[in-house]
Structure 1
């Protein structure tokens, strides 16, 4: 009996040594790739106002980035499955180099269509970046998986600084084409990311289980029908969808209440710091208290953020909402990601991860499309009231799983 135990104990450090290396590489790649949407969000609406004949379409480039992210999850997963994570990530970074150059050319040639195509393609790159958190768990032990995810997410903290600074330093690079330099900067960051991901080391090939019935594991419909998968996806969908929903509306609501643009921008900056700052310890919290409780805490914080939003319209109320929203997203999304890793076998990971991200980021795309319209129709108060029903549903599902009545993954 002692021999298997010794083998297992010896294998775990080796596996986590590889996982630590890959998590660090992916955290650096996240810092570069995560700056991609920050650049589009910062400049997309401004460029849209200049290039779009119909000014109601000014924010279309930003929405197309979210749409590209959602639609790119499945093709990205297929590519990763066929050529491996490293080669696929190199390809994804190359796609963003092209996207940034295309968007810059669209600005220089005053073509709104080309600019929108560039931002849409940059969203396809985002589908590769979002899978970094899962890639960090490929060779990790069960105990290290939450921490590996957290390590990658800390890269988002750096991305929140790198993205805006890239805009500041490059937006006037081409005087004849304002803001085109920002998208050339986006291409430059993707080129650096291409170099970083080349240091990723492949994990050992997973051994197919006899019960899988096929080298690729179980049919996807069987996996996604698992109650555990449904709970995990619901938690991630609610956490990310509501974060996007409120974050998109908050700056518009602040300006509508008479607050200065600078206050709105500073609120978003604090929100981004709150989103990724807790990643330094979220993995440890999950290790101590469990995935479900930390995910539930995140959902409760999102609900508390909405409650603060309903309690007043001062700058302090808006900032408090955005900061708690960011922390709640961090706990909820990282916890939900960790829950997803319990739902599949090694040979099934890319398909299941893609299914999860398609559902989650599809919801994010819908949230970003609908937030502004709902704000105009019902005001900031209605946006916050709409937070509570999905949070309650997600908490009920997590409580159901905690009760032990949810069947274990097979």
Structure 2
């Protein structure tokens, strides 16, 4: 492999900083998640309001992702990510305060700030891609996505001791996980602020400019602010956005409704937890391998593979109500999402000049959040009308459409040759 303009030691330090910060942040997000609907129902005085803070969180993420991405193009990735983590600290503290004073509106405000935080921090994977040469970008993205596994394990483990800690201090026990979230996110903020130097955006300019679909090479005097019309005409950008959005939509459609589907087939909480755990493992557990596969075989190939796995999950989910069968189907659902998400993220980075990446990647996060919201809202209506079969048919249909689009794009734009020695 050819030498890169960024020393390996520096790349490892910056990627390690992003991995550690994202691990802390994911744990902070998950630690209080089980309590959110319970607290919302208590503060709002009605079970019908239990899901509102989660909806506000999703709205905050969708609304903030693009402006924060735009900011990263102007000021750099470090200031944008640091601001995102700072918003997370503020969101946790506002939620903690709202619980103490019994304010439902304040609790929703805290959720909205936490959502805005996610609109920025989810873009950490793109910052990791910028410090690596093109043939290793997907592997870097996969590593940051794998940080979700660390958070998924650590977050639930933090909840019980944080509740006990708050109780011993004479505070409302339910504030404990939010205090822990503020602490963890604050540590992530400090890591980014102090150690993410030099800024990944500046390092990204040292590599050859993106050559996919006419992206302007970085640092060559070309217009660094290409209009949206020009950017969205690039096949690589369009396929990347569609891959991430469809993957998120299909995953949300099936995953959100599966616990209710299992409940109607007389499964208990333990069985449902095992199935969701298998799904989480599929989403995050193999991310390092996925990144290597994308670098080895190309993003388009892995989008096709991911969509195929999503379709397989859609077909198999309604065939049996057994726990083991559903665990396998939901594992495949998570794995298909993982392939589409990492391959789409890699393809998007490769299809953009450095100066374009922040705002377009912010748009991608907004679209992913919207897809997640549509999936969550639509799956219940579809399930009530046609049970699990209808949900699975729709998810399979979207997956097959993604396969067709990816194959069409791959035929018109052949994937680059596999990278040797990876």
* 5+ long unaligned stretches in structure 2: 206-217, 417-422
Report if the CA contact (8 A) 2:96-2:175 is conserved: yes
Alignment of 1:331-370 (within 5 A): 331-370=339-378
User: Is 1:314–2:325 an aligned residue pair?
Assistant: no
Report if the CA contact (8 A) 2:71-2:358 is conserved: no
Deviating more after overlay: 186-195 vs 164-173: 164-173
CA distance in 1: counterparts of 2:277 and 2:120, whole angstroms: 24
Q: Does the residue aligned with 1:146 lie in a helix, a strand or coil?
A: helix
Q: 2:57 aligned to 38, 55, 65, which one?
A: 65
Deviating more after overlay: 30-39 vs 169-178: 169-178
Partner of 1:179: 174
CA distance in 2: counterparts of 1:40 and 1:249, whole angstroms: 21
Q: 2:406 aligned to 384, 387, 398, which one?
A: 398
Seen in structure 2, the aligned counterparts of structure 1 residues 220 and 18 have a Cα distance that, compared at 3 Å, is: farther
Deviating more after overlay: 21-30 vs 173-182: 173-182
Q: Does the residue aligned with 2:132 lie in a helix, a strand or coil?
A: coil
Partner of 1:196: 191
CA distance in 2: counterparts of 1:406 and 1:210, whole angstroms: 28
Q: Does the residue aligned with 1:171 lie in a helix, a strand or coil?
A: helix
Report if the CA contact (8 A) 2:308-2:400 is conserved: no
Deviation, 1:142, is 0.8
Aligned pair count reads 397
CA distance in 2: counterparts of 1:47 and 1:321, whole angstroms: 32
1:115-165 deviation digits (Å, cap 9, x = unpaired): 111111101111122101101112321111111111111211101112211
Q: Does the residue aligned with 1:341 lie in a helix, a strand or coil?
A: helix
Alignment of 1:228-307 (within 5 A): 228-307=236-315
Seen in structure 2, the aligned counterparts of structure 1 residues 47 and 253 have a Cα distance that, compared at 3 Å, is: farther
CA distance in 1: counterparts of 2:414 and 2:242, whole angstroms: 14
CA distance in 1: counterparts of 2:414 and 2:324, whole angstroms: 41
Deviation, 1:19, is 3.2
User: Is 1:133–2:125 an aligned residue pair?
Assistant: yes
Normalized against structure 1, the TM-score is what?
A: 0.90
Deviation, 1:17, is 4.5
User: Is 1:31–2:19 an aligned residue pair?
Assistant: no
Deviation, 1:53, is 2.8
Partner of 1:208: 219
CA distance in 2: counterparts of 1:152 and 1:86, whole angstroms: 16
CA distance in 2: counterparts of 1:247 and 1:103, whole angstroms: 27
Q: Does the residue aligned with 1:34 lie in a helix, a strand or coil?
A: helix
Partner of 1:154: 146
Partner of 1:89: 81
Deviation, 1:244, is 2.0
Report if the CA contact (8 A) 1:236-1:333 is conserved: yes
CA distance in 2: counterparts of 1:285 and 1:347, whole angstroms: 27
CA distance in 2: counterparts of 1:107 and 1:236, whole angstroms: 35
Deviation, 1:369, is 2.8
Report if the CA contact (8 A) 2:67-2:359 is conserved: no
CA distance in 2: counterparts of 1:26 and 1:252, whole angstroms: 36
Q: 1:117 aligned to 89, 106, 109, which one?
A: 109
User: Is 1:376–2:398 an aligned residue pair?
Assistant: no
Partner of 1:5: none
Deviating more after overlay: 368-377 vs 132-141: 368-377
Normalized against structure 2, the TM-score is what?
A: 0.88
Report if the CA contact (8 A) 2:73-2:356 is conserved: no
Deviating more after overlay: 37-46 vs 106-115: 37-46
Deviation, 1:13, is 5.6
1:82-134 deviation digits (Å, cap 9, x = unpaired): 33222222222221111111112222222221111111110111112210110
